[in-house]
Chain A
Amino acid sequence: MSGSANVGVHVDHARDEDPAKMAEFEAKINAGELLEPDDWMPQAYRQGMLKMAEHHANSEIIGALPEGEWITRAPSLRRKLALTAKVQDEVGHGQMLYRVSQDLGKSRDQMLRDLITGRTKYHNVFNYPAPTWGDIAMIQWLIDGAAIMNQKTLADGAYGPYVRTMKRINMEEAFHFKSGEDMVLTLMSGTKMQRQMGQEAFDRWWYPALMFFGPPDKPHAEQLPPMRWRMKTVTNDNLRRRFINRFAPAAIDLGLKIHVVKKDDNGMVIERKPDENLRLDETTGNWSFTQPDWDEFYRVIRGNGPCNAKRLALRRFSYEQGRWVRHAILRGNAGLPPAA
């Protein structure tokens, strides 16, 4: 599914760069050309791309965890196969994005270690719990749906290796999203208990999905380096609007109610009421809605979300548990015997 780097890619203005090279670089970007790793680029761009690709890679492999919990509990053979393949894809996306980052100069091992020890971040959305099968359906519909919207725009970016990886990832996301739609449709046209499971999961995931695109835009977002240099191509608020316009009416047609919710520390809904701001503005074609709780958003980013500790603990467990295996093939006499 993937995060992507809407959260906090701060790129410093490149003050000490050669102005002639800078002009050439920006001209290439404006002409819509793709940049390749060996091309000249300002240090700030290289660092910014590394940070963005690394954050995205981290998000993929952490994103494999909440859904991974449900592989062993998927309720049919087809769903079991599909969910395994889906989580496997996340790992594959992580692998490809770490590769993009490795080519920008940081070792994968160091990136994994920085992730586990909290030096680098991953997407906020994976710090929420998935307590039922309904959550798996909603994650694949809403969060993968949001990821596709975002990644489609990232595929219009300027950094060649990242853009090519996005295009490849998006092909696989299409499967994730379709299978998510299939699960949500099955659930919402199922028994009373299933529909209730779907509604409760929707209540847990609607706001994380809206927050998925990152905090409200800074003034003049288009002129700041991430967009000026086409590291991203559409602002957070514009992506969020596209998302609502597509998903709010679809949710209503599925029989889902869109609620403003209050959650406890474990991410479970303790209060809900219909979103009274939700309506379609016929003249603009845009839906209005109640904004997410941005205080919660920053609280979770700072590490105090319902599942931050659990996700990192499991990644650390996996890293430490696998150390002897990597050690054996990196340092040991681990070659295969000569062919007979």
Chain B
Amino acid sequence: MSNVREQSHPSNGDLTSPAEGDLKPYVVFTQLNRGDPHMYAGCVDAADQQMALQFAREHYGQDQKCVNIWVVPKEAVTATNYDTDLIWRHTDQTYRLARGYSKPVKDKWRKLRRAEDLKEYEKDDLKETF
């Protein structure tokens, strides 16, 4: 069809058709492996959820291996406001975090146990939460 690509005649001026308006936006979440969380991928505009899913499969599902997709009408997403909605508290929160205890606990153990025993014991700690 290269002829059509070459031959569309330049036409200037305004469009005769009225403005069309947009389809509805849907938010897309993709899951890369079974069991992984679904992650925000982007948006598609579509007439309804089925069409949104069809579009999302080809737009956001083909960049890398992907096993599952959710689409949600954008208007269904309600969000907090960065400036006015405080989520994480200002006061000291270390009392509810493991890392609030790691140093004092270590110091206290050291007074009671040999270093190699402590090291062996600490092997089973969930270190990534410290």
A interface with B by C-beta (< 8 Å): 36, 38-40, 65, 68-69, 72-73, 92, 95-96, 99, 102, 107-110, 113, 116-118, 168, 171-172, 309-310, 312-314, 316-317, 319-320, 323, 326-327, 329-330, 334-336
Contacts and interface: CB of A to CB of B under 8 A. Distances in A.
B51 to A, nearest CB: 7
Contacts of B42: 96, 99, 168
Contacts of B1: 72
A116 B15 contact: yes
Contacts of A334: 47
Given A171-B63, A172-B63, A99 B25 contact: yes
Contacts of B9: 313
Interface in B34-61: 42-45, 47-48, 50-51, 59
Interface of B: 1-2, 4-6, 8-15, 17, 19-23, 25, 42-45, 47-48, 50-51, 59, 63, 79, 81-83
Contacts of A38: 79, 81-82
B10 A313 contact: yes
Nearest to A116: B15
A320 B17 contact: yes
Nearest to B44: A95
A117 B15 contact: yes
Contact of A326 (B15, B20, B43, B48): B20
20 contacts: A36-B82, A69-B5, A72-B1, A95-B59, A99-B25, A99-B42, A99-B43, A102-B22, A109-B19, A109-B22, A113-B15, A113-B19, A117-B15, A118-B12, A310-B10, A312-B10, A313-B11, A320-B17, A335-B47, A335-B48
A76 to B, nearest CB: 18
